[in-house]
Amino acid sequence: MITEQQLQNWARPLTDTENAKCVATVASIRKILEDHFGSKVEVFLQGSYKNKTNVRQDSDVDIVVCYKDAFFPEISNLTPQDKALHKSIYSDSSYTFVQFKNEVENLLKSKFPGYVERKNKCIRINANTYRVNTDVIPCFVFKRFRTATTVEAEGIKLLSDSGDDVRSFPKQHHENGVQKHSDTNEVYKKVVRMIKNCRNHMIDSGQLATDAMPSFFVECLVWNIPHHHFNKNNHKDAVNAVIVEIWNDMGNTAKANEYAEVSDLMWLFKGQTKRTHDQAKDFVAKVYALIN
């Protein structure tokens, strides 16, 4: 059983010392990218560090480098007439996403020799004494069109080396997470950190596979829970209320399928995602057993 004191410790964000190392890492890499690409890119943070839901064992930093002079369109919901009009207005970029990722990789290898490796979706810069592990994510702008020329929502998109189409809305994710935290009297992010620490505890003890529950998935599950479940007398009651609600919802297919990503612009389960209701249900059952 995990004590209330342990949960309180797990609810806390990174210490100032740990955070300072992340800040220094971001500043150095941001300068390298902006000095090279100039105004053609936007460099910003995403993920657990940006959203302040990271925990000590997951203190890696995700840095997006988004090429702004080209975009990936989403026009699948347009009428045939609007699709035809859209294609007559816009043309393919001569500079491809693969070229951009290669250029980012070569730049970082020249600046951090021996520390850089290309991953499926990013360029990893491995940590040293002064720097935390960093994933630099090359991407293009992603635009979801409502008409031939009207953009409904704007995010980012990348093509993984394995051929997957990966799209997301990190800025909207951040904004909605901040709002959820405020609406729950600043409990939402604490619950996320407690559950992530439970996950890490189970991974360390061999009760859970390393890749069984990504941080992003945890954040999204918790974000979908109504505000009143967070309003409890102590940390344990708040976590229990949230994970019991997730467990109940995952047993109801219709309700589970209404779960959205934190951006509220993509479904958590419906569509091309590989996430499953059973995956979520099994995970929160393990968390409940650990805590209680």
Q: What is the sign, positive or negative, of the torsion defined by CA atoms of 106, 111, 112, 114?
A: positive
Does residue 3 form part of some domain? no
Q: Is residue 273 part of a domain?
A: yes
In this predicted structure, what is the pLDDT of residue 14? 66
Rounded-to-integer distance, Cα 60 and Cα 134, Å = 6
Whether 127 and 177 share a structural domain: no
User: Residue 35 sits in a domain of what CATH number?
Assistant: 3.30.460.10
Q: Are residues 74 and 146 in the same domain?
A: yes
- Sequence length of the chain is 292
* Strand blocks (E) in 160-268: 165-168
62 beta partners: 46, 135
Tell me the per-residue pLDDT of 141-164, one tens digit each, with 9 for 90 and over.
Answer: 999 999 999 999 999 999 999 999
| pLDDT tens digits for range 189-239 | 999 999 999 999 999 999 999 888 999 999 999 999 999 999 999 999 999
What phi and psi values does residue 142 have, to the nearest 5 degrees? -120, 125
User: Same domain for 67 and 159?
Assistant: yes
Confirm if 71 and 139 have CB atoms less than 8 A apart.
Answer: no
Q: Sort strands 123-125 and 116-118 into parallel, antiparallel or unpaired.
A: antiparallel
Q: 17 and 145 share a domain?
A: yes
Residues 251, 231, single domain; the answer is yes
Domain-located, residue 7: no
Last residue of one domain, picked from the residues 116, 136, 168 = 168
Q: Say whether pTM exceeds 0.85.
A: yes
Residue 4 has pLDDT above 90, yes or no: no
Answer whether 221's CB lies under 8 Å from 198's CB.
no
In a domain, 2, yes or no: no
Whether 22 and 155 share a structural domain: yes
215, containing H or E segment: helix 215-223
Cα separation values, 256 from 186, 243, 260, 272, Å: 25, 13, 9, 16
pLDDT in tens, 79-131: 999 999 999 999 999 999 999 999 999 999 999 999 999 999 999 999 888 88
Residue 192 contacts residue 219 (beta carbons within 8 Å)? yes
Asked if residue 29 belongs to a domain, the reply is yes
Q: Which domain holds residue 26?
A: 13-168
